Amino acid sequence: MSEKAPEDSKPQVDAKPEPGDQINIKVRDAEGNEVQFKIKKTTQLKKLMDAYCLRMGTAKGAYRFLFDGHRINEEDTPESLDMQELDCVDAMVSQLGG
Amino acid sequence: MTHSEPPSRIASLGDASLSVDDLALLVPPCWMNDKLISFWCEHLRINVLKNDSRVAIFPPNLSFFISLTDDEEELVQIATANNLKKSELIILTVNDSRQSGVTGNVASGTHWSVLALERSTNNAYYIDSLPHLPNVKVSKVLLGRMAKMLATSRPTFVELDAPRQRNSYDCGAFACMFAEDVVKCFLDGKQISSVYQAGFQLHSDAIDQKRQAIGKLACLLFNEKHEDDRNSVKDINRHS
């Protein structure tokens, strides 16, 4: 992936985040393409999920995100899910059937 | 391309949440989406099974993910995270979607079915409401994945003679019913092979009722949430 991953668009704050306060998370689609995001450990993952949808040119909510086989909720944070540096989140498209 | 805001969430249950747009799909002849199926899976896990660890229910996204990855380490990790080794029954909700080159807000897939893996017999029961069994292929892929996850021999694929849909839109409601019937069969201490024994009669409005049950459950949760909100407002007023 040659392009730089979009940064978390949080407002700038005066105090620099403590080292170890941020974490790199990879989002991977079904074909194995990866996009990396750097976010604060306490940032709601909704931001990451919305940013991914934006980057993929889809409406927000178009993908479902899984971590270790569990669906990620909007309020979850890297901290609450005990994510480690460069952990990978899987993005799945929505499914329909009749 | 527009980047519309996602529709607001109106009901949450466990790992699943529904918006108004999802609920609109409960009206025939709409096709049900993965969020409705996930919601029903969570209902079965929490309200029917009361978090009984002997049964694992895979929502559509998890089944889909497993069908796509052949990485043994990853599969074992998911098995551990979901406590699969101890489970006696694993129910997978299955869709035939294949993700490739998806752009825009396009949902993929055309059909829902259920795969129920009974650990005691190592039989995997394929339960499908369409007679030409469109999800056999992906279900057989899932069997291989399950064998890796559980470090067991490949389960035996068994097609169940399931009730069939008579239209082109009810498979989601059928899949919800199949998952529920398998759960109840297990809780009754019966073998899964007996779930739709000869002579089983599908009640004429059973499927419509299944759609309605999902909607009613969502409304119930919606009302409960708002009741809580109202109470917390009252609490604040009382303390101020």
Q: Identify the structural domains of chain B with CATH numbers, from first to last.
A: 11-194+205-211 (3.40.395.10)
Are A98 and B99 within 8 A, CB to CB?
no
Structure confidence at residue B99 (pLDDT): 56
Assigned domain for A63 exists: yes
Assigned domain for A14 exists: no
The larger pLDDT score, comparing residue A5 to residue B224, is at: B224
Structure confidence at residue B160 (pLDDT): 95
Are B32 and A98 within 8 A, CB to CB?
yes
**Three-state DSSP class for residue B14:** coil
Burial class of residue B171 (count of CB atoms within 10 Å of its CB; 0-12, 13-18, 19+): buried
CB contact burial B197-222 (16+ within 10 A = b; e otherwise): eeeeebeeeebeebbebbbebbeebb
Structure confidence at residue B128 (pLDDT): 97
Chain B residue with minimum CA distance to A49: B6
Instruction: Please answer whether residues B149 and B155 qualify as being in contact, where contact means their C-beta atoms are separated by less than 8 angstroms.
Output: no
Residue ranges of chain A with pLDDT lower than 70?
Answer: 1-19
Question: What is the domain extent for residue A55?
Answer: 22-93
Q: Which amino acid is at B201?
A: Q
With pLDDT > 90 as the criterion, what percentage of chain B qualifies? 71
For residue B162, pLDDT beyond 70: yes
Token pair of B187 as six digits: 């809780």
Q: How many domains does chain A have?
A: 1
Are B34 and A98 within 8 A, CB to CB?
no
Which has the minimum average pLDDT: B26-35, B144-153, B194-203? Answer: B194-203
- B interface mutation test: which of A82, A93, A95 has the most B CBs within 10 A? A95
Structure confidence at residue B4 (pLDDT): 52
Assigned domain for A84 exists: yes
| CATH number, domain containing residue A67 | 3.10.20.90
Assigned domain for A81 exists: yes
Assigned domain for A5 exists: no
Complex ipTM, two decimals? 0.74
Assigned domain for A79 exists: yes
Touching A: B residues 161-200, CB under 8 Å: 168-172, 175
Kind plus residue range of the DSSP H or E element containing B236: helix B206-239
Q: Is B81 on the interface with A (CB under 8 A)?
A: yes
Q: For residue range B93-121, what is the model confidence (pLDDT) as tens digits?
A: 999 987 544 444 467 889 999 999 999 99
Assigned domain for A71 exists: yes
CB pairs under 8 A between A and B: 119
Q: What is the pTM of this model?
A: 0.82
Q: For residue range B60-81, what is the model confidence (pLDDT) as tens digits?
A: 999 998 998 888 998 999 999 8
Chain B residue with minimum CA distance to A90: B65
